[in-house]
Amino acid sequence: MSKNSFNNLLIKLLIIVPTLAISCSNATSDLKSHNQQNSSQSVLQTIKEPVPQPIKKIATETSEKTKSQTQNLKNIFNNCILKNNIIECIDLDYANTNNIRQTLNLWMPCKNKKVIEDCMSDKSYEVIVHVHGGGFVQGQKRAKSNNNLLQAGFAFASINYRLGAAGEFPNFLHDQKAAIRWLRANEKNYNLKTDQIGAYGESAGGASVGLLAATSGLENYSINEQSIELEGNVGDNLEYSSDIQAIANYYGHSDTVKLTQQITGPRPPIVENIFLSAISLITYLGKGIPMPHLIIHGEADPVVYYEQSLIYLEKLKEIYPNKSVEYNLMTIENGGHGGWSPSVIKETNNIMTNFFIRHIKMQANIPEEKSRIIINEYN
């Protein structure tokens, strides 16, 4: 073949081959388009995306999981802010009812972090629950934390519960138990440790935590041949326990029948007379789970008489004559229904904090505070 003939053939090939390639590409594209219109979503994904290599698949799954976890944390902490090394979560709905009376506030330590999500790498915290007073007809959960407890390494929750007719016994107790169950159900979300939960309250809140303690381990109880459902079914966490493990009762009543016989003070409007004993913690004391009790009461209390704590103490002595559980009464000399001097408030708060460190954090090296009189002096 001459040199000129070879060159002419080469030129023709250079023209024909790209044209074939373009035609094949267009045919393939048309085939894909046809298949995509007639295939299922899974087939579509198979055509459009090559099967990823294992290492890439793991990386993708990890990325999606991280993104999901981050989004979940953001949802969990919608009602929370971080300030002054404390996470504050307000109006958490423990009953899933969108009722402000069935919400709680929660505080957790979070030191040296700039964003809430970083706090989740911290250690978990035991929980102390506060129940407000108000005669079962008024009152609100705390708007500020108990910093003494936070500084001791506790998380702190304060709960609302239904009041008045809506909170008629046993409804208020069912709400309080639902709040305890919610805390256990959400312990991982908020870095809580809920094997041991302590509770304290003042006045009606003190009576409430007394009931929470005395009915721990009990689901039902019969009084005057009428069965009382103690646990209730408030909230979505019925598989969790509502038991608590230690309480501090500030001037709460123990015997409602005696309470109604006082010359001064409240006349409980929330139950019929036949059920007065149902809201008396001494009715259930010794029937449920044994636990330590700290009682703090002013001897001159005109609202809930001091004798209520003496009845409480004597019942504990009767049930635990060898003092197999710890119980002590701190008497505030000349103390009324709260409103004590700053020094007494500080001292009783320290006594309570050490009580919970001993029994909730299980630090046996913290000495027991024996029953004694605390002088109520104003400077």
3-state secondary structure the chain: CCHHHHHHHHHHHHHHHHHHHHHHHHHHHHHHHHHHHHCCHHHHHHHHCCCCCHHHHHHHHHHHHHHHHHHHHHHHCCCEEEECCEEEEEEEECCCCCCHHHEEEEEEECCCCCCHHHHHHCCCEEEEEEECCCCCCCCCCCCCCCHHHHHCCEEEEEECCCCCCCCCCCHHHHHHHHHHHHHHHCCCCCCEEEEEEEEEEECHHHHHHHHHHHCCCCCEEEECCEEEECCCCCCCCCCCCCCCCEEEEECCCCCHHHHCCCCCCCCCCCCCHHHHHHHCHHHHCCCCCCCCEEEEEECCCCCCCCHHHHHHHHHHHHHCCCCCCCEEEEEEECCCCCCCCHHHHHHHHHHHHHHHHHHCCCCCCCCCCCCEEEECCCC
Look-up: residue for tokens 């911290």?
Answer: 122
Angle at 339 between CA 255 and CA 101, to 5 degrees: 65
Task: Supply 333's token pair.
Answer: 């000399």
Topology (CATH level 3) of domain 81-375: Rossmann fold (3.40.50)
Q: For 89, list phi and psi in degrees, rounded to 5.
A: -115, 125
Dmax (CA) of the chain: 133
Q: What is the pLDDT of residues 260-309, one digit of tens each?
A: 888 877 665 545 555 788 999 999 999 999 999 999 999 999 999 999 99
Give the pLDDT confidence score for residue 304 in this predicted structure: 96
> What residue type is assigned to position 278 of the chain?
A
Chunked mean pLDDT (size 10), the chain, 379 residues: 45 39 40 38 32 41 47 72 94 97 96 84 90 96 96 97 94 98 96 97 98 96 89 96 98 94 70 74 96 98 97 98 95 96 97 98 96 87
Question: pTM of the predicted model, to two decimals?
Answer: 0.80
Provide the pLDDT for residue 64: 52
The Cα–Cα gap between 149 and 332 comes to: 22
Whole-number pLDDT of residue 34:
38
Instruction: Provide the pairing of β-strand 154-159 with 125-131.
Output: parallel
Give residue for tokens 């500084």.
151
Q: What is the pLDDT of residue 50?
A: 36
The string of pLDDT tens digits covering residues 115-132 is 888 887 678 999 999 999
Q: Where are the domains of the chain?
A: 3-51, 81-375
Tokens standing for residue 379: 């400077």
| Strand 372-375 relative to strand 327-333, pairing | parallel
User: 167-183 pLDDT, tens per residue?
Assistant: 999 999 999 999 999 99
Q: Enter the tokens of residue 93.
A: 């709905």
Residue 181 phi, psi dihedral angles, 5° rounding: -65, -40
Write the burial class of residue 209 (CB in 10 Å: 0-12 exposed, 13-18 middle, 19+ buried): buried
Instruction: Quote the pLDDT of residue 170.
Output: 94
